[in-house]
Structure 1
Amino acid sequence: MSGYSSFREFYPFYLNEHSDVQCRRMHFAGSTLVLAVIVLAIVSGNAWWLLLAPVAGYGFAWIGHFVFEKNRPATFTHPLYSLMGDWVMYWQILRGKVKI
């Protein structure tokens, strides 16, 4: 996989790596849980809950890749762009631009 000079250049690759609807659903579920964990930490005043955020986010996403998509997560080679891609895809799913 080659390097990318911008997120705009990377994002089409990212979407292609998430072509399986089940993988996208797993990402969406994990990202939703991350948001829920953050809210729980704020509401409870207990920052320890934040330790669950990466487990929820990456756990669901990686299951989506290894079980459904059958590929290696882009996080391993492009961690920042991959994180950005996950939240852009999440927003696009909410807006109906990416189907689940």
Structure 2
Amino acid sequence: MAEQKYETFGEFWPFYLLEHSDPKNRFLHFVGSLIALLFLAATIYYSNLYYLIGAFVSGYAFAWIGHFFVEHNRPATFKYPLKSFFADWVMFVCIITGQIGKQLEKAKSRLASE
């Protein structure tokens, strides 16, 4: 069976959400992204680019822990780095706004219809 290729973000988003179906994985992503934002703020406040290393490490470390030890799947970053990076932030906003459940249901129903 040929592996699915995602050309657009709209095609990728449901796949991304289903790869993050465990709430613990989404929580780890959220925490990593939040810490990354704090490091980004420190980068700006202190005018020190070394804080960007902390942003990068925290963002990916928490996410990869979630994939390898919670979801037991391979992070989408390895194959779709830009789409995955963007999707991380869309998911972050969906969590903050309470839309993540609705988005997951849409992704599940889209998968069921394929």
The TM-score range, normalised by the shorter chain, is over 0.9
| Shift, 1:95, TM fit | 0.4
Once the 2 structures are TM-superposed, how far is the Cα of residue 52 of structure 1 from its aligned partner? 1.2
Q: Find the counterpart in structure 2 of residue 6 from structure 1.
A: 8
Percent identity of equivalent pairs? 48
Q: Determine the structure 2 residue equivalent to 1:26.
A: 28
Shift of 1:4: 1.0
Gap regions ≥5 residues in structure 1: none
In 1: Cα distance, 2:16 partner to 2:60 partner: 15
Root mean square deviation of aligned Cα: 0.9
> How far off its partner does 1:45 sit?
1.7
Q: Normalising by structure 1, what TM-score? A: 0.95
Offset from partner CA, 1:66-88 (integer Å, 9 cap, x none): 11111000011111111111010
Letter of the 1:82 counterpart: S
Q: Which residue of 1 aligns with 2:74?
A: 72
**Does the residue aligned with 2:43 lie in a helix, a strand or coil?**
helix
Query: Where does 1:1-100 land on structure 2 (aligned, <5 Å)?
Result: 1-98=3-100
Normalised by the size of structure 2, how large is the TM-score?
0.83
Distance in 1, Cα, partners of 2:58 & 2:38: 10
Runs of 4 or more, structure 1, over 6 Å off, are none
- AA matched with 2:99: K
Q: 1:48: how far off?
A: 1.1
Question: Structure 2: 5+ residue runs without aligned partners?
Answer: 102-114
Secondary structure of the structure 2 residue equivalent to 1:63: helix
Mapped partners of 2:82, 2:43: distance in 1: 24
Secondary structure of 1:47's counterpart equals coil
